[in-house]
Amino acid sequence: MESEKCYTIAIGTLGCKVNQAESEAIARHFCAAGCHTVSFEAVADAFVLNTCTVTHVADRKARQLLRRARRRNPSALVAAVGCGAGAVGSLADVALANEQKLEVVPLVLQRLAASPARAPLGVAGAAARARTRATVKVQDGCNHRCTYCIVPMVRGAERSVPARQVLAEVVERVREGCQEAVITGPQLGSYCDQAVGDLRGLIRAILQETALPRLRLSSIEPHNFPPGLVDLWPDTRLCRHFHIALQSGSDAVLRRMGRTYRVDQYTELVASIRQRVPGAAITTDVIAGFPGETEREFAETHELVRSLGFARVHVFPFSARPGTRAASLRPLVPEALKRERCEALQRAGREGASGFCREMVGQTLEVLYEEQLADGCWSGYTDNYARVLTPGEAPLANRLLPTHLTGVVGQDLTGRLTIEDHSLSGRVSAITLAS
């Protein structure tokens, strides 16, 4: 695909890792057509927002971003794609649902080219982004029917990306310099392909057939966590990070949600991962204020979140999505109470994250550095998904470096580099070593 003009395209993403993977694919297609991609906050010839509709908050965010893009760039073309395109499409010049997502590239380029009054901005403001972590979609769709979830309606039935296609993509991302790939799909645990079998086969193939330094898995549902999956983890290229959605710590609420596991099964799964993969980060999602959630049911969830010591907890207030069974469930939890419950779960989540970080102090782990913050610290992640802040002036972006973990600040760790790395241009001494 060749574009005659060098357009600047701003790409924004809301929602899950699958959306993230698809936005990266959209960005690559624009780049292949000779365009530059920038963040959604930048000035651009066109804005493409990859939307999410999993909660009403996601819809509201999409509306705000589209309106802001329009206000700041009145002559730019604005496109909304993905799960929420139907809900917010009236604010955009182009709206495309999931199946047509990639069509946004030729469509936007045609519309820009057909408008000779639009002079391309060119490369101005198009900051090159370091390729650090790639998100690779290996599966799409969901055959489950959790009563609150709109994903099966907007993403359709389960299907897996052929393994050879996944491998080719990982090889390409490694060639571009990515140090880490996150494989993702709404039902990652259901992955299947004739050539490799299940998710374990796919992981083995990626490890054997590519030079990828780090492989991370995105969310896996507890009901289809593949048996024997953690047997692969002695391979140190696999990140010790498992995101397993809990949603509720009450069996009664789980039943009303249409989830097909019990709390004891969930806790057994977490215990077996921790036993087999020492230091593993277990992160989760929890919904607060599901219809009919009693004080006692909420207390069960709160207690479970506290006792399981998650490394990170994403808390979502229940949001009724039109067309889902839960939208008609009653009684509703009053908004103020829902907010209170969210805050209590978030506090428990923060305590868990700090506790997880405290246990890591004194260890030396490889950190994949991503960006330098305004205060000069470099920010990066360990394989078990703890954020590490390391002071220093030497360029560390996209470097995987052994780092001594020296302390905890909030939910992050502080670190200092432990190597004499001559490729840092002899500037190791310029790195302020934390005590």
Interaction site with ligand SF4 (CB under 6 A)? 142, 144-146, 149, 151-152, 186, 221
Instruction: Give the nearer residue to ligand SF4 in terms of CB position, either 62 or 142.
Output: 142
Q: Cβ 344 to ligand SF4, closest distance in Å?
A: 23
Q: How many CA atoms lie within 13 A of 427 on its CB side?
A: 11
142 vs 170, which CB is nearer to ligand SF4?
Answer: 142
In the complex, minimum distance from the CB of residue 343 to ligand SF4, in angstroms, rounded to a whole number: 23
Cα 50 from Cα 207, distance rounded (Å): 30
Question: Smallest distance from the beta carbon of 7 to ligand SF4, in angstroms?
Answer: 35
Q: How far lies 304's CA from each of 281, 358, 367, in Å?
A: 16, 20, 30
140 vs 297, beta carbon nearer ligand SF4 = 140
Strands (E), 25-166: 36-38, 46-51, 77-82, 94-96, 133-137, 139-140, 159-160
Min dist CB 257 to ligand SF4, Å, is: 8
Residue number with CB closer to ligand SF4 (142 or 344): 142
Smallest separation (angstroms) from ligand SF4 to the CB of 290: 12
Q: Which residues pair with 312 in a beta bridge?
A: 283
Q: Which of 360, 359, 424, 361 is nearest to 392 (CA)?
A: 424
Provide the minimum distance between the beta carbon of 16 and ligand SF4 in the complex, in angstroms, as a whole number: 9
Residue (51 or 382) nearer to ligand SF4, CB: 51
Q: Where are the alpha helices (DSSP H) in 214-360?
A: 251-257, 263-276, 295-308, 335-360
Q: Which is nearer to ligand SF4, 36 or 321 (CB)?
A: 321
According to DSSP, the β-strands at 400-409 and 364-372 are antiparallel
Q: CB of residue 285 vs ligand SF4: minimum separation in angstroms?
A: 9
- Contact by Cβ (8 Å): 98, 83: yes
Question: CA–CA separation, 180 vs 104, rounded Å?
Answer: 27
Q: Which is nearer to ligand SF4, 140 or 169 (CB)?
A: 140
**Is-contact 241 384, C-beta < 8 A?**
yes
Tell me the closest approach of the beta carbon of residue 13 to ligand SF4, in angstroms: 18
Parallel, antiparallel, or unpaired for β 77-82 and 94-96? parallel
Closest to 183 measured CA to CA, from 356, 369, 24:
24
> Which positions ≥6 away from 316 have C-beta within 8 Å?
55, 285, 286, 287, 288, 342
Minimum CB–partner distance for residue 289 and ligand SF4 (Å): 17
Nearer CB in complex with ligand SF4: 310/369? 310
Where does residue 177 fall: left (phi above 0), alpha (psi -120 to 50 degrees), or beta otherwise? left
Nearer to ligand SF4, 152 or 352 (CB): 152
Q: How far apart are CA 259 and CA 144, in angstroms?
A: 9
Q: Please tell me the distance from the alpha carbon of residue 388 to that of residue 434, in angstroms, as a whole number.
A: 12
Give the CA distances from residue 181 to residues 102, 167, 229, 295, 383, in Å, rounded to whole numbers and listed in that order. 21, 11, 18, 41, 12
- In the complex with ligand SF4, the residue whose CB is nearer, 152 or 226, is 152
Write down the least CB distance from residue 186 to ligand SF4, Å.
Answer: 4
Q: Where are the alpha helices (DSSP H) in 73-103?
A: 85-88
Name the residue nearer to ligand SF4 (CB basis): 217 or 377: 217
Return the residue matching tokens 């302390």: 407
**Closest separation between CB of residue 145 and ligand SF4, Å?**
6
Q: Are 400 and 236 in contact (CB under 8 A)?
A: no
